[in-house]
């Protein structure tokens, strides 16, 4: 059976002593199985019914993994709350999800109380310790492959967050697919540290995949700052890690400030996702001898849909461009492009609806998910995101890719990061506006930035204005918040 129960049983049986590590705590797969089943029995004794949701307000902890398995083994649906949202936003999500129980970190209880949610709450660690201690003995009910096991919500970059139910089958097949050699190439002997919050589409499925294979796992807790991350990478000798580009930019900055401070594992491999990554970021990884590749996905895809298999130069002159592409669609993920160039997908771990029937227009009449990404594929199947459909700039009847301009700006030696957005224009309809964060100590030189772009793009595609910012706003999942940028800068021009 393709269930979380089968995944857990395999890890317990063959890899009972393999470690699960977080700051201040070490466990193993034997303990994961014991505690997950105790939690399942305790929730059932408390009245959890099949298909009911259990909210989890937990950071990246072993306890979060225990809850994922424990809730699912009880026949429930584990709902990891986005801890970077406001309690008001939690309240709206909880109302839609109708969570009956909740496990909440003690430090987040004040925020939870502001939601007014009626769920029965167990605080972590004291309340959950008492809950586990009181768990009755007995067998657990069987769960089916198509039963819901987890609930994830989109980050709300294009509107209110929308919920997606992940079945046992979807989570199991997704774990297998992302483990393949041309994907993340997970092995049982690996040490895995996802630098993705577990509330962000199940940390990209990495903890499920690592459990399936019996790999050693490291959890970052609530700290994702560069030095804390590097301490874990070095101390635990991590071989596989993943996160959004902004996390890794900070990590690379710290490595460059303190050469030799953190002895990293020579086989460390990093997977990037969540946002396009410029070629300049790949070159920085190269300088530190860290292997890196790109991936792409959506909450609605459990979440990974494509991974780039290119790791080392293959002699082709366009290698640098091809390895920055989002990658090749994973096996069993089908893709097609609409007349507009927008990618539509379907597959065994791709959602076909949202909770409550929200945003039904995100799905085609024949069941494909509209991704909102304008893409192109090369002859080898490598996908490049040209832009988000909502971020393309229409100027004088022609399209301008904001992503292409952003990647080019980010390759300038004095630019830390950049965003390009459309601004209304009475003559051209829209014109690109560049928002630039200079590197520390670098001068803001708009003329130099424009010359840099004009060497790569026609002059009419280049921004007319460059505004300097101290930082770019980000969503709760680390993506650049272009919606806020558009609102702020259009208001400033009004």
Distance CA 321, CA 309 (A): 13
Q: State the Cα–Cα distance between residues 281 and 461, nearest whole angstrom.
A: 24
What is the Cα 391 distance to its own chain's centre? 20
Distance CA(205)–CA(98), nearest Å, equals: 24
- Closest by CA to 333, choosing from 198, 476, 174, 140, is 174
The predicted structure's pLDDT at residue 158: 47
**Rounded distance between C-alpha atoms, residue 35 and residue 70, angstroms:** 8
Determine the average pLDDT of the residues in 349-356.
94
DSSP per residue, 85-131: S-HHHHHHHHHHHT-SEEEEEGGGHHHHHTTT--SEEEEETHHHHHH
In whole numbers, what is the pLDDT of the chain averaged over residues?
Answer: 93
Q: What is the pLDDT of residues 88-104, one digit of tens each?
A: 889 999 999 999 999 99
pLDDT of residue 494: 60
pLDDT digits (tens, 9 = 90+) for 27-80: 999 999 999 999 999 999 999 999 999 999 999 999 999 999 999 999 999 999
The segment(s) of the chain belonging to CATH 3.30.300.30 are 391-493
Q: Lowest mean pLDDT: which of 106-110, 152-156, 366-370, 414-418?
A: 152-156
Stretch 367-379: mean pLDDT: 94
Residue with the bigger pLDDT between 48 and 392: it is 48
Looking at residue 432, its pLDDT comes to 94
Return the higher-pLDDT residue of 388 and 73: 73
For 275-314, give the DSSP string: S---HHHHHHHHHTT-EEEEEEE-GGGSSEEEE----S--
Domain with CATH 3.40.50.12780 in the chain: 4-377
Q: Which of 474, 473, 449, 471 is nearest to 462 (CA)?
A: 449
What's the pLDDT score for residue 86? Answer: 86
Please give the structure tokens belonging to residue 19: 């470690």
pLDDT recorded at residue 160: 73
- Reported as a single tens digit per residue, the pLDDT across 434-446 is 999 999 899 999 9
Please give the DSSP secondary-structure letter assigned to residue 345.
E
pLDDT, mean of residues 240-253: 93
Residues 161-218: tens digit of each pLDDT = 899 999 999 999 999 999 999 999 999 999 999 999 999 999 999 999 999 999 999 9
The mean pLDDT value for 402-430 works out to 90
Residue 59 to residue 179: CA distance in whole angstroms: 24
Superfamily of domain 391-493: ANL, C-terminal domain (3.30.300.30)
How confident is the model over 122-172, as pLDDT tens digits? Answer: 999 999 999 999 999 999 999 999 999 999 998 754 457 899 999 999 999
What is the H or E stretch that residue 226 is in? helix 226-235
Q: Which long-range contacts (CB under 8 A, 24 or more apart) does 32-38 make?
A: 32/8, 32/62, 32/65, 32/66, 32/69, 32/211, 33/8, 33/9, 35/66, 35/70, 35/132, 36/8, 36/66, 36/69, 36/70, 36/73, 37/70, 37/73, 37/140, 38/70, 38/132, 38/135
CA 53 to chain centre: 22
**Position with higher pLDDT, 199 vs 86:** 199
Q: Are 144 and 168 in contact (CB under 8 A)?
A: yes
Superfamily of domain 4-377: ANL, N-terminal domain (3.40.50.12780)
């Amino acid at each position: 059976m393709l269930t979380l129960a089968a995944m857990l049983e395999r890890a317990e049986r063959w890899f009972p002593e393999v470690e699960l590590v977080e700051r201040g705590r070490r466990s193993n797969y034997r303990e994961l199985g014991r505690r997950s089943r105790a939690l399942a029995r305790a929730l059932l004794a408390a009245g959890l019914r099949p298909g009911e949701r259990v909210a989890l307000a937990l950071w990246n902890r072993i306890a979060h993994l225990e809850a994922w398995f424990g809730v699912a083994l009880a026949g429930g649906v584990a709902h990891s709350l986005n801890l970077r949202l406001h309690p008001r936003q939690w309240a709206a999500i909880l109302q839609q999800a109708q969570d009956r129980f909740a496990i909440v970190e003690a430090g987040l209880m004040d925020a939870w109380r502001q939601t007014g949610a009626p769920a029965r709450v167990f605080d972590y660690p004291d309340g959950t310790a008492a809950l586990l201690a009181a768990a009755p003995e007995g067998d657990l009910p069987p769960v089916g492959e198509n039963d819901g096991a987890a609930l994830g919500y989109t980050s709300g970059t294009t509107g209110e967050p929308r919920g997606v139910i992940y079945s046992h089958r979807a989570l199991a097949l997704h774990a297998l697919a992302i483990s393949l050699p041309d994907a993340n190439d997970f092995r049982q002997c690996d040490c895995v540290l996802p630098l993705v919050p577990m509330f962000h589409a199940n940390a990209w499925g990495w903890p499920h995949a690592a459990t399936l294979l019996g790999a050693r796992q490291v959890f970052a807790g609530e700290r994702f700052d560069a030095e804390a991350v590097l301490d874990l990478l070095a101390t635990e000798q991590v071989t596989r890690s993943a996160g959004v580009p902004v996390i890794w930019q900070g990590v690379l900055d710290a490595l460059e400030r303190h050469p030799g401070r953190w002895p990293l594992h020579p086989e460390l491999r990093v997977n990037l996702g969540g946002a396009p990554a410029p070629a300049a970021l790949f070159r920085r990884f190269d300088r530190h001898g860290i292997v890196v590749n790109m991936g792409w996905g959506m909450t609605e895809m459990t979440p990974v849909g494509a991974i780039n298999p290119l790791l080392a130069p293959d002699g082709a002159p366009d290698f640098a461009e091809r390895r920055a592409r989002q990658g090749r669609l994973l096996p069993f993920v089908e893709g097609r492009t609409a007349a507009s160039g927008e990618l539509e997908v379907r597959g065994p771990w791709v959602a076909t609806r949202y909770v409550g029937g929200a945003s039904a227009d995100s799905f085609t009449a024949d069941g494909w998910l509209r991704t909102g990404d304008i893409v192109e594929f090369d002859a080898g199947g490598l996908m490049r995101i040209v832009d988000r459909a909502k971020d393309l700039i229409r100027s004088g009847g022609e399209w301008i890719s904001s992503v292409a301009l952003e990647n080019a700006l980010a390759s300038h030696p004095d630019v830390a990061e950049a965003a390009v957005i459309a601004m209304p224009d009475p003559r051209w309809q829209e014109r690109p506006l560049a928002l630039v964060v200079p590197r520390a100590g670098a001068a803001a030189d708009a003329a130099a930035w424009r010359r840099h772009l004009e060497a790569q793009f026609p002059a009419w595609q280049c921004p007319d204005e460059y505004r300097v910012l101290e930082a770019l706003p980000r969503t709760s999942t680390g993506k650049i918040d272009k919606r806020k940028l558009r609102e702020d800068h259009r208001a400033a021009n009004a």
